[in-house]
Amino acid sequence: MTQTHTDRIDDLDQDLSVFLGYEMKRALSLIQADLARVLGELGLRAVSFSALTVIVQTPGLTQSALADALQIERSNLVTLIDELSERNLIVRAPVAGDRRRHALMPTAEGQRLARVAGAAVAAHEDRLFAGLTEEERRELQRLLAKFRRTA
């Protein structure tokens, strides 16, 4: 019933917690910190993991299509693709009939790393969301997806 001194200090932002966006930002901050650590051990950033995953699942897509999918600017994708290429995780393949475009293809090593990293990210989420029941976690996922569809 009574709060300790520490509780009060930690709750100075409680008036912001009535806003869903604020709670979500704080929640995402926790997730991203742990995710960065997990992916960092594999030499990946969150955005390079995302790009690699989409390329593995949609081989042959162009840089513009990938930029649209991940909602990042084409220009900012260039160095990211450079990184993945230099590590031999993907290749820029020519597109027959349009020499402007590059078809992004995963290498065998890229496919392997995508599998390993995907498992690592799944484990990271299992660990972080252990405080929620399976049903609560599924419901959170459903509500976020519904929000994204309807907002």
Partner DNA sequence: TATTGTTATACTCTATAACTATA
Partner DNA sequence: TATAGTTATAGAGTATAACAATA
Match 């990210």 to its residue by tokens. 121
The residue within the footprint of DNA, chosen from 102, 110, 114, 117 (CB under 7 A), is 102
27: left (phi over 0), alpha (psi -120 to 50) or beta: alpha
The residue within the footprint of DNA, chosen from 35, 81, 89, 117 (CB under 7 A), is 81
Is there binding between residue 111 and its own copies (CB under 8 A)?
no
Is there binding between residue 115 and DNA (CB under 7 A)?
no
Cβ–Cβ < 8 Å for 70, 47: yes
Cβ distance to DNA smaller for residue 101 or 137: 101
How is residue 91 written in tokens? 């290749």
Tell me how far apart the alpha carbons of residues 26 and 24 are, in angstroms, rounded to a whole number.
5
Sequence-distant (6+) residues with CB within 8 A of 113 are: 42, 44, 52, 89
Query: Residue 79 CB, nearest distance to its own copies (Å)?
Result: 20
The residue within the footprint of DNA, chosen from 98, 126, 136, 139 (CB under 7 A), is 98
The residue within the footprint of DNA, chosen from 72, 91, 105, 120 (CB under 7 A), is 72
Is there binding between residue 73 and DNA (CB under 7 A)?
yes
Tell me how far apart the alpha carbons of residues 2 and 10 are, in angstroms, rounded to a whole number.
14
The residue within the footprint of DNA, chosen from 31, 34, 42, 47 (CB under 7 A), is 47
Tell me how far apart the alpha carbons of residues 114 and 117 are, in angstroms, rounded to a whole number.
5
Footprint of its own copies (CB under 8 A): 9, 12-13, 15-17, 19-32, 35, 50, 53-54, 57-58, 61, 65-66, 68-71, 121-122, 125, 128-132, 136-137, 139-141, 143-151
